[in-house]
């Protein structure tokens, strides 16, 4: 089995008596309310998805990641993992103390050992990490709207619940056991934030010809307006895998995660996360983790020519399309027919078909069972 990033799979989950003691102490601690998306990140840290990260970055690590896409110890890590609070919330906090992280109902999620309290130039952060300081970029907007005080330190998770999609919410320890039980030596990770269409199915099956197993791992959580709803993404893959795949060759599990839309840098983080799950290969397509026109169509692929030593093989895949002349799916590597014979399966095009007509999406674009699922949904988009 491939090593986790940094050589060790992090586990910051409290159990048994340790958890009871932590729950009791948390009631007396200063409390910081975190959002549902931040709760997802806390759990991802504790479960090892972001190994070797154990918590929120101290200033030295954050600075190194911002400037060099590496932790202070030189381990590749492309995006800062951070928590900010406003100055009034930080009042009275001291290094070496604990605070409790709670949800909006004041339920205790985790403890944070506060090892560092600092400020950081957010324009510098945005310029290096997102490549822009434009507030219209969703990642930049979230950064600028967050508090001015950064907290660094290890997380101790108390609430390890996996609702609402617990059936498909596997952590790296579980996927690694599952892959091993199936005897898989090579596993390709596939990320998506869309329902499945024929292009994605074609690419996945092509790669299944050369690896032992496919790990389909869609992003679940707040994305941008117009993206498909989580439940439809899950149901579309349930349907497609049941009807059109060799089920012994596929593992489906969600990734509860807040997209930062950081383009190339986020593509590297996505690869590291799949490495921690146990994948040996990861698919990076055009415009991976991009938004608007902030990044070039192949920037997310090209960054892996500069950052090479992350320990997982990157598969740079071009888009698949339906060719009327070939009467089937193809890519530019297998089809040389004119552009007017090709149906491009972009998310924008598929959304327009769903919203613009009373008929299901054509079979050349989407399997009829998946198309009917969307057709029956009154509100498929966020």
Q: How many residues does the chain have?
A: 382
The DSSP line for 208-242 is HTTSSEEEE--EES---TTSBPHHHHHHHHHHHHH
Contact 62, 132 (CB under 8 A): no
Active-site annotation holds for 376:
no
Contact 347, 194 (CB under 8 A): yes
Using CA atoms of 58, 61, 63, 64 in order, give the dihedral in degrees to the nearest 10.
Answer: 180
Annotated catalytic residue: which of 58, 193, 260, 265?
A: 193
Contact 254, 169 (CB under 8 A): yes
DSSP code at position 132: -
Q: Phi and psi at residue 326, in whole multiples of 5°?
A: -75, -20
Annotated catalytic residue: which of 194, 260, 276, 367?
A: 194
CA distance 295 to 159: 37
Active-site annotation holds for 351:
no
Would you call 121 helix, strand, or coil by DSSP? coil
Catalytic residues: 193-194
């Amino acid at each position: 089995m491939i090593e986790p990033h940094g050589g060790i799979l992090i586990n910051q989950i409290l159990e048994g008596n340790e958890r009871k003691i932590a729950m009791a102490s948390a009631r007396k601690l200063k409390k910081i309310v975190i959002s549902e998306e931040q709760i997802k990140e806390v759990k991802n840290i504790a479960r090892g998805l972001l190994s070797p990260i154990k918590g929120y970055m101290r200033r030295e690590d954050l600075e190194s990641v911002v400037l060099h896409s590496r932790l202070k110890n030189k381990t590749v890590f492309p995006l800062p993992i951070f928590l900010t609070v406003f100055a009034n919330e930080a009042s009275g906090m001291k290094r070496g103390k604990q605070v409790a992280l709670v949800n909006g109902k004041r339920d205790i999620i985790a403890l944070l050992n506060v090892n560092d309290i600092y400020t950081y130039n957010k324009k510098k952060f945005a310029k290096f990490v997102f490549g822009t300081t434009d507030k219209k970029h969703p990642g930049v907007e979230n950064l600028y709207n967050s508090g001015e005080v950064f907290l660094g330190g290890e997380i101790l998770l108390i609430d390890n619940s996996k609702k609402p999609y617990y059936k498909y919410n596997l952590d790296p320890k579980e996927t690694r056991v599952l892959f091993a039980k199936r005897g898989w030596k090579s596993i390709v990770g596939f990320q998506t934030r869309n329902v499945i269409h024929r292009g994605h199915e074609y690419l996945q099956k092509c790669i299944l010809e050369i690896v032992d197993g496919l790990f389909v791992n869609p992003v679940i959580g707040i994305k941008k307006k117009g993206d498909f709803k989580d439940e439809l993404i899950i149901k579309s893959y349930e349907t497609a895998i049941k009807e059109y795949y060799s089920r012994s060759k596929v593992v489906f599990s969600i990734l509860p995660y807040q997209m930062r839309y950081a383009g190339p840098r986020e593509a590297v983080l996505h690869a590291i996360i799949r490495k921690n799950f146990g994948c040996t290969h990861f698919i990076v397509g055009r415009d991976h983790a991009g938004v608007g026109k902030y990044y070039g169509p192949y920037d997310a692929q090209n960054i892996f020519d500069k950052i090479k030593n992350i320990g997982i093989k990157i598969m740079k895949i071009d888009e698949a399309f339906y060719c009327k002349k070939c009467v089937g799916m193809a890519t530019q590597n297998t089809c040389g027919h004119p552009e007017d014979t090709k149906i491009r399966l972009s998310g924008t095009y598929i959304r327009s078909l769903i919203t613009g007509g009373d008929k299901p999406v054509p079979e050349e674009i989407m399997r009829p069972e998946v198309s009917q699922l969307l057709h029956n949904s009154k509100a498929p988009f966020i």
